[in-house]
Amino acid sequence: MTVKVGDTAPNFTLSSQTGQPVSLTDFQGKKSVVLYFYPKDDTPGCTAESCAFRDSYEVFQESGAEVIGISGDSPQSHQQFASKHNLPFTLLSDTGNQTRKLYGVPATFGLLPGRVTYIIDRDGVVRHIFNSQLNVKGHIEESLKTLKELK
């Protein structure tokens, strides 16, 4: 299955860096969600992307959106990564990559977990998808542009 623009985003429940369960439906009717899948904590590209989301976090909040990062790393790894880089948003642990598969996030070169961002509106509908392993800043730019259009 591959999630497309216009689809209802599949719900999931995963553990956050604090060990608390977080579901996509927790935000429905309240906030848009910027859901970004990234390969691995503390790697150069993933650190750059997460820090760019951090640096624009206030703008995302002002746009009525919550930022959520997902990778296959453990909650403990996420906790260290978030603490080290002062990440103010939730990181979710998809250790079996079931949510990644549920969304149909492709692997880069068939090996590396993909880097894909989904903009999900308050009603749970996917409004934009940005897929780029290398253009990490593009994930933030595309997300903010889409959120402005939703207002």
**Active site residues per annotation:** 46
β-bridge partners, 91 = 69
For the stretch 140-147, contacts whose Cβ atoms lie closer than 8 Å and that sit 24 or more positions apart, written own/partner, are 140/49, 140/52, 140/53, 140/56, 142/117, 143/34, 143/36, 143/60, 143/65, 143/117, 143/119, 144/56, 144/59, 144/60, 144/63, 146/119, 147/32, 147/34, 147/60, 147/63, 147/64, 147/65, 147/119
